[in-house]
């Protein structure tokens, strides 16, 4: 096993480079498993995220089931959940061994992600207690979930009542207000107004007509 990772923040860059380099040259070498596992801990503590390295670790577990560590798997998947709306959780889930899926806290985590994906946010917060010990090991867990919720809300609402938003975020009206102000939303009375984006405003009508690129035609005409 290699030397333990430096935890000093000025060394973070170095750690990431080391891991990237290690994956470049020995992605399939089971000898790197312990270092990738340490690197997961590093990410949990430092609020960092390295999807490629984590997927590399899941892959090594898949090739060497006897070295598989269910605690690390669930930590990786929890971090992947926090990366929503990116589909990291989904692409990781395909690699998780069948028997791990039925174990706790993995089974609850999978349920929780379904709640996030179907935007049942109030239920999500209610059931979160089921993975409390896992959640505590991940710095910035609640904030990351709230960031995702705010992101979906911002694409759905042009303005929203603060008490409703507070329910979705599982936060007091005060905390909700200060959170949305940080994201540049305007608050007036009990309503937050979201800056216009392509999704929460009327679309400019498309009067350019149908666009058919040259490449599309060219590729269809180059018969032989």
Partner 1 sequence: MDSMNWRSRAEPVGVPAVDDSAAIERNPELGNVPDAVRQFIVFFRAKFREGNTQEIHTLYENTFNKLSKKYYPDSEWPPAEVIAPLVENDEPFLLLYKELYFRHVHGTPLVSLAHRLDAWQNYGDLFDFFLTGGMRQFDLPPSWLWDLTDEFIYQFEAWCQYRSKPKNKTEEEIQYLEENDYIWNVNGVLGYLHNLVHHSNIISWLLNGNAPAGSSDPRDNNFDVSSLPVYRYIGYFSIIGLLRLHCLLQDYRLALLVLQPLDFDITTPLYTHVSACNVSLFYYMGFAYMMLRRYDDAIRVFSSTLMHIGRIKQYHTRSYQFEQINKRNDQMVALLSICFAFSPQHTEESKFGILREKYSDKLNRMLGGDESVFEELFTYASPKFVSPAPPDYQLQLIASAESSASIGPDPAKLQLAIFMREVKQQALLPHIRSYLRLYRSINVPKLASFMDVDDATCRANLLSLKHKSWELVGNAFEPPVAGTFQSRSGVHFHINSDNVVQIQDSEVEIKYGHYFIEQMEHLDAVVATQRLKLLASASKKAVHE
Residues in touch with partner 1 (CB under 8 A): 28, 55, 59, 62-65, 85, 87, 90-91, 93-95, 97-99, 114, 117-122, 152-153, 155-161, 191-193, 198-203, 206, 210, 212, 215-224
Q: Give 16 or 191: the residue with its C-beta nearer to partner 1.
A: 191
| Beta carbons of 137 and 75 less than 8 angstroms apart | yes
- What's the closest the beta carbon of residue 203 comes to partner 1, in angstroms? 5
- What's the closest the beta carbon of residue 127 comes to partner 1, in angstroms? 14
According to DSSP, the β-strands at 186-188 and 159-161 are unpaired
- What's the closest the beta carbon of residue 91 comes to partner 1, in angstroms? 5
Q: Give 37 or 88: the residue with its C-beta nearer to partner 1.
A: 88
- 213: three-class secondary structure by DSSP: coil
- What's the closest the beta carbon of residue 184 comes to partner 1, in angstroms? 17
- What's the closest the beta carbon of residue 201 comes to partner 1, in angstroms? 7
Q: Give 41 or 93: the residue with its C-beta nearer to partner 1.
A: 93
| Pairwise CA distance, residues 123 & 121, whole Å | 5
Closest CA to 18 of 44, 47, 50, 46: 50
- 60: three-class secondary structure by DSSP: helix
Q: Give 133 or 220: the residue with its C-beta nearer to partner 1.
A: 220
Q: Give 21 or 87: the residue with its C-beta nearer to partner 1.
A: 87
| Beta carbons of 211 and 204 less than 8 angstroms apart | no
Handedness of CA 125, 127, 129, 135 (dihedral sign): negative
In the structure encoding, which two tokens stand for residue 89, read together?
Answer: 């959780």
């Amino acid at each position: 096993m290699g030397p333990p990772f430096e935890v000093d923040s000025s060394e973070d860059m170095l750690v990431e480079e080391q891991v990237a380099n290690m994956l470049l040259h020995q992605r399939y070498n089971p000898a790197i498993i312990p270092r990738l596992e340490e690197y997961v801990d590093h990410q949990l503590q430092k609020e960092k995220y390295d999807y490629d390295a984590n997927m590399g670790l899941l892959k090594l577990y898949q090739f060497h089931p006897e070295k598989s560590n269910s605690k690390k798997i669930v930590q990786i998947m929890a971090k992947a959940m926090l990366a929503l709306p990116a589909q990291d959780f989904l692409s990781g889930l395909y690699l998780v061994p069948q028997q791990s899926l039925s174990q706790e806290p993995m089974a609850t985590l999978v349920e929780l992600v379904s709640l996030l994906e179907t935007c049942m946010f109030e239920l999500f917060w209610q059931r979160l207690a089921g993975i409390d010990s896992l959640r505590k090991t991940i710095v910035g867990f609640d904030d990351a979930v709230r960031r995702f919720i705010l992101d979906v809300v911002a694409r759905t609402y042009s303005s929203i009542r603060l008490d409703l938003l507070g329910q979705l975020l599982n936060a007091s009206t005060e905390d909700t207000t200060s959170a949305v102000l940080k994201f540049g939303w305007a608050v007036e009375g009990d309503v937050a107004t979201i800056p216009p984006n392509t999704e929460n405003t009327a679309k400019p009508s498309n009067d350019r007509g149908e666009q058919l690129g040259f490449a599309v035609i060219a590729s269809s005409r180059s018969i032989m």
